[in-house]
């Protein structure tokens, strides 16, 4: 039985593969020695070569090279170390390249090591510079998935004098991570918030009105893959009076959009709400029971919610609010977090806010 191996596969089997993370020069027997680039502006150098037609460089892996492809453009330069080739636009980190010898057709694959970006704390919510004394949660957002079960080793609450409160946050066996481990939820100990509770009586509130604090994420927190560590991050804020009243949509300011446009609905709240809960707690209905498609945004320290529809407005709007939506102090539309023992919550299933469209603007000649 006879069979043939495609030329492309044969070349791939014979190819020498080099990734430049740590490799400078490699000897290839009668193919000569190659000096690989370590930064995008470095050339690839074939030692012993003299003429500019001694080799070509292609984009892609050796297994796909090089039929029907054009070599990349660049500058050849002869020197004591051999023939150097510098591409016109530099080598791209992580992108495989192939050097093909003109005489033998031998393929040598190489690539610059991809630059690994260190993880960063990208945001801390609530984002405001002032927070109420009974703030319940913080959300720490990271640029990469982080190593779990070490949060207490890196997170600190400091007052203006640098004193650390080791009892400010709840400690859980399972930390409260988003599924992709890029958002950590920090829950303040409710016993420090609720008046008359043992921790509050013994230790006092973790945050006190009129004082300033820092939420600190210490440097050195590793990623889930171990590929990098965070730098130190600080969020400074001042503390204002606690929120101890129920939210009420009557205190919201709603800016209606114009008919036949994709103008946004803008809702300004009377207090900062939980930024994560806001993403699902408000639905927009327009002419049917189905929620209207669109994109929502939370800004202004959690006090402004904006919704942009996927198509033009045609009929009046109703905002449907889940009564379990909490402000940053954990108060929802049914009950306060810090409520008196025996107090019954309000029986509310859903809250509706009608919004009348503004007339569209007619364009006249």
pLDDT of 29 reads: 40
- At the second CATH level, the architecture of 121-240 is Sandwich (2.60)
Q: What string of DSSP letters covers 107-128?
A: EEEE-PPPPPPPP-EEEEES--
Q: Are strands 294-299 and 304-309 parallel, antiparallel or unpaired?
A: antiparallel
pLDDT of residue 103: 86
**What is the end-to-end Cα distance of the chain in Å, rounded?**
82
Q: Which CATH fold would you assign to the domain 7-110?
A: Immunoglobulin-like (2.60.40)
In whole angstroms, what is the distance from residue 355 CA to residue 238 CA? 35
Residue 131: per-residue pLDDT: 97
Give this prediction's pTM: 0.69
Q: What is the DSSP letter of 358?
A: B
CATH 2.60.40.1220 segments of the chain:
121-240
- Quote the CA–CA distance of 307 and 299 in Å, as a whole number: 12
Edge-first strand order for the sheet with 304-309 is 253-255, 265-268, 304-309, 294-299
The topology (CATH level 3) of 249-355 is Immunoglobulin-like (2.60.40)
What is the model's pLDDT at position 211?
A: 98
How distant, in Å, are the alpha carbons of 110, 130, 133, 134, 183 from that of 158? 49, 15, 15, 16, 21
Q: What is the pLDDT of residue 13?
A: 36
Per-residue pLDDT of the chain (365 residues; tens, 9 = 90+): 443 434 333 333 333 333 333 334 444 444 568 999 988 999 999 988 878 889 999 998 888 788 888 999 999 999 888 999 999 999 988 889 999 998 888 999 998 877 778 999 999 999 999 999 999 999 999 999 999 999 999 999 999 999 999 999 999 889 999 999 999 999 999 999 998 887 888 889 999 999 999 999 999 999 998 888 999 999 999 999 999 999 999 999 999 999 999 999 999 999 999 999 998 999 999 887 788 999 999 988 889 999 999 999 998 899 999 999 999 999 999 999 998 777 877 899 999 999 999 998 765 55
């Amino acid at each position: 039985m006879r069979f043939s191996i495609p030329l492309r596969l044969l070349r791939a089997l014979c190819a020498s593969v080099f990734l430049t993370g740590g490799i400078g020069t490699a000897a290839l027997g009668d193919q000569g020695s190659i000096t690989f680039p370590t930064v995008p502006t470095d050339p690839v150098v074939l030692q012993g070569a003299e003429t500019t037609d001694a080799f070509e460089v292609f984009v892609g892996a050796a297994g796909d090279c090089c039929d029907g492809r054009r070599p990349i453009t660049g500058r050849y330069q002869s020197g004591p170390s051999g023939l150097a080739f510098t591409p016109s636009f530099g080598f791209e980190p992580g992108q495989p390249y192939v050097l093909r010898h003109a005489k033998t057709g031998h393929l040598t694959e190489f690539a610059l090591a991809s630059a690994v970006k260190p993880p960063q704390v990208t945001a801390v919510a609530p984002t405001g510079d002032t927070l109420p004394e009974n703030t319940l949660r913080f959300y720490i957002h990271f640029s990469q998935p982080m190593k779990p079960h070490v949060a207490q080793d890196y997170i600190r609450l400091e007052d203006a004098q640098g004193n650390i409160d080791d009892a400010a946050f709840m400690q859980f066996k399972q930390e409260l991570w988003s599924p992709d481990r890029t958002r950590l939820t920090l829950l303040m100990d409710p016993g420090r918030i609720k008046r008359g509770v043992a921790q509050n009586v013994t230790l006092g509130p973790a945050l006190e009105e009129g004082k300033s604090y820092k939420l600190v994420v210490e440097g050195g927190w590793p990623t889930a893959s171990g590929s990098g560590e965070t730098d130190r991050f600080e969020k400074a804020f001042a503390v204002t009076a606690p929120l101890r009243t129920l939210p009420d949509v009557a205190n919201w300011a709603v800016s209606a959009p114009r008919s036949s446009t994709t103008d946004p609905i803008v809702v300004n709240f009377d207090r900062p709400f939980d930024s994560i809960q806001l993403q699902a707690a408000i639905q927009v209905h327009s002419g049917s029971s189905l929620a209207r498609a669109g994109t929502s945004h939370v800004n202004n320290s959690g006090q402004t919610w904006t919704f942009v529809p996927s198509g033009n407005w045609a009929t009046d709007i109703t905002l449907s609010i889940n009564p379990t939506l909490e402000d940053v102090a954990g108060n929802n539309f049914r009950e306060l977090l810090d409520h008196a023992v025996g107090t019954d919550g309000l029986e509310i299933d859903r809250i509706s806010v009608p919004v009348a469209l503004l007339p569209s603007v007619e364009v006249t000649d």
